[in-house]
A = this chain, B = another copy of it.
Amino acid sequence: MTISEVSKECNITADTLRYYERIGLLPAIHRTQSGIRDYSEADCRTISFIKCMRSAGVQIDALTEYMTLLREGEGTRQARKKILTEQREHLVEKLLEMQKTLDILNKKIERYEDKMLKCEQEINK
């Protein structure tokens, strides 16, 4: 697959894909004779995974570390698992915090609704 195909399929710009490769988040992608990137199915799955993690706020550094270990093979399984569980913890923490914020927002919005209702009643008296 060419960069633009992957870009469309994964909804990620070509610039970002090249950027990810440059910083080592993606491996060196296979090229055609003319030097054009040719992404494999596995590359696509990797990209989807990265996109998912990034959209949830997982830092590029952590992902890069994980991907690097993955390329290093079997011996790094423990280390990879550790990264994933760490990131899971961060995620859970963030989720709780956001839940708390959502509660506060809900209450605030409710108060706005109450106030507006009262105003209307005042007008219709």
Contacts of A100 in B (CB 8 A): 52, 56
Whether A95 is near chain B, meaning CB under 8 Å from some CB there, is: yes
Interface residues on A, range: 20 to 34
Counting every copy of the chain, the complex holds 2
CB of A94 to closest CB in B, whole Å: 7
Contacts of A99 in B (CB 8 A): 95
Write the A63-83 contact mask toward B (1 if CB under 8 angstroms, else 0): 000000000000001101100
Q: Contact between B87 and A56 (Cβ–Cβ < 8 Å)?
A: no
Whether A115 is near chain B, meaning CB under 8 Å from some CB there, is: yes
Alpha-carbon distance A99/B115, docked complex (angstroms) = 34
Jot down 30 A-B pairs with beta carbons below 8 A, ordered by A: A49-B104, A52-B100, A52-B104, A53-B105, A55-B101, A56-B101, A57-B57, A58-B101, A77-B112, A77-B115, A77-B116, A78-B116, A80-B112, A81-B109, A81-B112, A81-B116, A84-B105, A84-B109, A87-B105, A88-B102, A88-B105, A88-B109, A91-B101, A91-B102, A91-B105, A94-B98, A95-B95, A95-B99, A95-B102, A98-B98
